[in-house]
Structure 1
Amino acid sequence: MFKQRLLSGIVLVLIAVFALYMGGMVTLAATLIISLIGYSELLRIFHIEKSSLAVIGYTGCILFYVAMFFDLAQWTVPIIILFLIVLLGCYVIRFPKYKLNQMMGCFFGFIYVGIMLSYIYQLRIIQNGGEFVVLLFLAAWGNDTLAYCVGMLIGKHKLTPELSPKKSIEGFVGGILGAVILGLIYGFYIKTRLRLSFDPVVMFPIICGVGAVISVIGDLAASAIKRDAGIKDYGSLIPGHGGILDRFDSILLIAPVVYYLMVMISGGTI
């Protein structure tokens, strides 16, 4: 099981590195595909992954990403509003076929997966975005790995025994400190390569620390959804890891936060 998890993890990292390195259409397509698969995994909980509601949801995601690609920022909010109107129209026309929780799940999934993950692409396409997008994975996967190691070594006090019995307070603190240290190291590296309007040695550890805390929230929120739904994993696409949402649950919340933090510390111009 460990070998399978390790190998699939390496493949996943290589695909992510390639997609993010290429930028442009490649990054957009990869992010959209991940969003659609993750959205489908969430809709499966409500048994509507192949329904009319799902078709509306998938179409809404595609339109949102197309608007981003053509830099039509003024259309992103109207697309969300239009999506809700069409969704409610389907609810009314097909009533009582779909239940309220299915409607809510479809709209929630559109925001939670489709739009939140789009910030990976939005971060990548800004100036120096190829370097900044690394912060997402230092904060999320770096925190997750270091929290696991610290928890295994010295973890004694349970963080959230009902949601995730294996997570410890010691691991939580260790993961955040680890992410901060990774951000510091990366900040020194970037400082020698780029001229920025801010000091990455100061700001990157802060961003990674904030991201690490949000990473834990994202991970535990995903666990809460699975427990409420009575499932172990969102899917089985990635051997040893589960589904797309099982691997990207932390990134979902971190991506928009890192994007807006980068915009703020740069004075709106990166």
Structure 2
Amino acid sequence: MIKRTITSIILISSVICVIFLLPMWGFTVVTSIFIALGLYEFLRLDSKNIFPPSFVYLGVFSGAILPYITHFLRPTGGLWEALFFIIVLMSLFIIQFTRKESQNAVALIALTLFGIFYIGWFFTFLVKIRFLEDGHKLVAYLLLVTKAGDIGAYLVGSKFGKHALIPRISPKKSVEGAIGGFLFSIAFALISRSYLGWMSFKTILIGGALIGVFAQLGDLAESLVKRDYRVKDSSLFLPGLGGMLDVIDSILFTAPIFYIYLIFIM
């Protein structure tokens, strides 16, 4: 618990500095680093190490450059992102052509592309949000409400959890914890309203509810991945918290949903 608390304090302090003190390019660089670490963990989850180094290197590199596509190629980033995924898929096939064996070829290509999409592209939506008006506040709001849901689910689930949510995916997650996490997200969304004066009560409430739901879906999604690979944590990179993927799992789902919601209401 002490390790978890210390690591959390350091991580939260660092994130605050990144959001409010670093220029836009610095935020993009940090986002890229988070993606690279998360992708490396994902591509190394399999204890049998079925991923050849060439797939790992291409996967990590490809995911890490996605934030720069958003940063430098706005507002036509969507077109460049489509071209990017086409090039990555073709590159994966070319790498496979040069290998001496064809075992697990489809699985290797599909899983690598999935990782880039799931971790690299989803997390890049933080950069898209950061470029919006009041972007630094919106990113802070997203992270606060997302992590409030995580904390609420943990606290309520630990204290009152009696009914398993989806035991085959995550035995420790409970229905009570899910409800607690959802309510925590909404509560912290409403608390944050004073910092986003242009957003109405209804807008903030809907945003908090969306984040509350998708944060838990993101957490469950990563639990499903880890369950499939039979691992408890994605790595031991962050003492007490697990790996980078364990920290950003819920954000991977809330960032794109929140961005789409913002574009809709704007």
* TM-score over 0.5 for the pair: yes
Quick one: distance in 1 between partners of 2:61 and 2:155?
Answer: 41
Where structure 2 has 5 or more consecutive residues not aligned to the other structure, the ranges are none
Of 131, 154, 163 in structure 2, the residue corresponding to residue 157 of structure 1 is 163
Quick one: distance in 2 between partners of 1:155 and 1:17?
Answer: 32
2:44 is paired with a residue whose SS is helix
Compared CA separation, residues 50 and 37, structure 1 to 2 (3 A)? farther
Compared CA separation, residues 75 and 138, structure 1 to 2 (3 A)? same
Quick one: distance in 1 between partners of 2:149 and 2:11?
Answer: 17
1:159 is paired with a residue whose SS is coil
> Post-superposition shift, 1:204?
1.6
Pick which of 247-256 and 19-28 moved more.
19-28
2:165 is paired with a residue whose SS is strand
Of 82, 86, 101 in structure 2, the residue corresponding to residue 96 of structure 1 is 101
Residue 228 of structure 2 corresponds to which residue in structure 1? 228
Pick which of 19-28 and 62-71 moved more.
62-71
1:231 is paired with a residue whose SS is coil
Residue 145 of structure 1 corresponds to which residue in structure 2? 151
Contact 2:73 2:80 in 1 (8 A): no
Residue 190 of structure 1 corresponds to which residue in structure 2? 196
Residue 67 of structure 1 corresponds to which residue in structure 2? 69
Quick one: distance in 2 between partners of 1:20 and 1:58?
Answer: 23
> Post-superposition shift, 1:141?
0.8
Residue 178 of structure 1 corresponds to which residue in structure 2? 184
Residue 211 of structure 1 corresponds to which residue in structure 2? 211
Give the TM-score normalised by the residue count of structure 1. 0.90
Where structure 1 has 5 or more consecutive residues not aligned to the other structure, the ranges are none
Residue 10 of structure 2 corresponds to which residue in structure 1? 11
Identity of aligned residues (%): 29
Contact 1:146 1:174 in 2 (8 A): yes
Residue 56 of structure 2 corresponds to which residue in structure 1? 54
Of 72, 80, 87 in structure 2, the residue corresponding to residue 82 of structure 1 is 87
Contact 1:207 1:258 in 2 (8 A): yes
Contact 2:166 2:173 in 1 (8 A): yes
Quick one: distance in 2 between partners of 1:62 and 1:184?
Answer: 34
> Post-superposition shift, 1:48?
5.8
Quick one: distance in 2 between partners of 1:122 and 1:49?
Answer: 30
Give RMSD over aligned pairs.
1.7
Quick one: distance in 1 between partners of 2:52 and 2:23?
Answer: 31
Residues 209-244 of structure 1 deviation map (CA, whole Å, 9 limit, x = unaligned): 111111111111111111110111111110011110
Pick which of 121-130 and 61-70 moved more.
61-70
2:234 is paired with a residue whose SS is coil
The answer to whether the aligner puts 1:244 opposite 2:244 as a matched pair is: yes
> Post-superposition shift, 1:50?
6.3
Pick which of 249-258 and 157-166 moved more.
157-166
Off by >4 Å, runs of 4+ in structure 1: none
Residue 125 of structure 1 corresponds to which residue in structure 2? 131
Count of paired positions? 259
**1:24 alignment partner AA:** M
